[in-house]
Structure 1
Amino acid sequence: MADLLWDDVSCFFDPDLMGTLPDVRVPNTSVEDWQAVLDLVVEKGWKYRYSEGETVLPLPRAESVLSRSADAECPNLRVWPTADVLAIFRFDAADEVDFDVDLRELQGQERLDVFCGFLREIGRRLGKPVLMDPEGDCGHPVLGFDIEADRVVLLADPPVR
């Protein structure tokens, strides 16, 4: 059974309403949590590409990425849980795993199921909630992986149109 039904949540995947790149995050994390995410990507066999600036590099240990100097090239990890869905992880701080998704890629029940499965895998691995906020509106999640329910749930009421 699907975590969420497209007809119930499609408004939260409207780029005009939510912004094209909503903020997806796992708060209260550590370097070890980041490493667990990197390990999960490899274990699941998801296609990925790690880069610093324009240079593509082998996937490093989380500790080395998070301890880089402030003037180092900006690292990111692109992960494709399926060929048509991309998540871009940013290594801004150890205390929050954060990544972007493009809502234009997450249209319809099939893509929603892929997205929910991705959040579920990360949340289960870390034992923590995975939250999605509107772009630039961090702290107001609309949906996320709920540990107790062991699935992705709505965390806000759909807006009235």
Structure 2
Amino acid sequence: MHDVAWDDVADWFEPDGSLLDAYVLDANETDWQRVIDLVKSQGWRFDYTVEGQSQPLPQQAADIFALRRSEATVTMHIWPAPNMLVNTHFFSDDEIEFDFDRTELQGQHQLDLLCRFMRSLGHQLGKPVRLTPENGPEHPLLIYSPTEDRFTPTA
């Protein structure tokens, strides 16, 4: 059984040059720390860069945001599955955002991997996770609720 059927949502993933985003709103630095802890505990492959150069991932989210406040470009590339890249840029400590390339999210298997990622994130933070068009947290396509452990299409 799938959380979301590909045939019901395939048009959301039609490659058009834009990304899809996953958001956790009303976040804080503790939530970001939980994201870092999740990446490590899941054993997901990742690369953390500062100004485009790979660096060791700081132990504390506070150290990452100190770099962001100094105008440094900070990115973490995460591979929760071999063919699925997720990027986060630590833009804001009160909003967690991940980018997904639509071309990498084609078919039921990739959709299942996306749902697994969203579920892991929602459970780790105890907060809903919204899948949206690029830069559109106010226009969710799909919301994962950790309290109900379910995905709700909203588009």
In structure 2, runs of 5+ residues without a counterpart are none
Corresponding residue number in structure 2 for 1:24? 22
Q: Quote the residue 2:8 is aligned against.
A: 8
Match of 1:159 in 2: none
TM-score of the aligned structures, taking structure 1 as reference length: 0.90
The residue number in structure 2 matching 1:57 is 55
Offset, 1:15: 2.4
Worse overlay, 59-68 or 75-84: 59-68
Deviation of 1:42 after TM superposition, in Å, equals 0.5
CA deviation string 1:66-91 (max 9, x = no partner): 12254432000000011100000111
Alignment partner, residue 34 of structure 1: 32
- Contact 2:87–2:99 (CA<8 Å) still a contact in 1? yes
- Given residue 8 of structure 1, which amino acid in structure 2 is its aligned partner? D
Q: Summarize the alignment of residues 137-148 of structure 1 with structure 2, pairs less than 5 Å apart.
A: 137-148=136-147
Gaps of 5+ in 1: 157-161
> Contact between 1:20 and 1:104, CA under 8 Å: does it hold in 2?
no
Q: Does the 8 A contact of 1:3 with 1:153 survive in 2?
A: no
Task: Give secondary structure in 1 for the equivalent of 2:89.
Answer: strand
Identity, in percent, stands at 39
**CA distance 1:69–1:36, shift in 2 (3 Å):** closer
Query: CA-atom RMSD, angstroms?
Result: 1.4
Do the aligned residues in 2 keep the contact of 1:119 with 1:152 (CA within 8 Å)? no
Q: Which shows bigger deviation, 60-69 or 32-41?
A: 60-69
Partner of 2:115: 116
**Per-residue displacement from partner, 1:89-138 (whole Å, max 9, x unpaired)?**
11111101111000100000000000000000000110101111112333
Q: Which residue identity is paired with 1:3?
A: D
Give the letter aligned to residue 4 of structure 1: V
> Which stretches of structure 1, 4 residues or more, deviate above 6 A after TM superposition?
none
Aligned-partner Cα distance in 2 for 1:2–1:44: 21
* Contact 1:24-1:98 at 8 Å conserved across structures: yes
Q: TM-score, normalised by structure 2?
A: 0.93
Superposed displacement of residue 13, structure 1? 1.0
- By how many angstroms is 1:14 displaced? 1.3
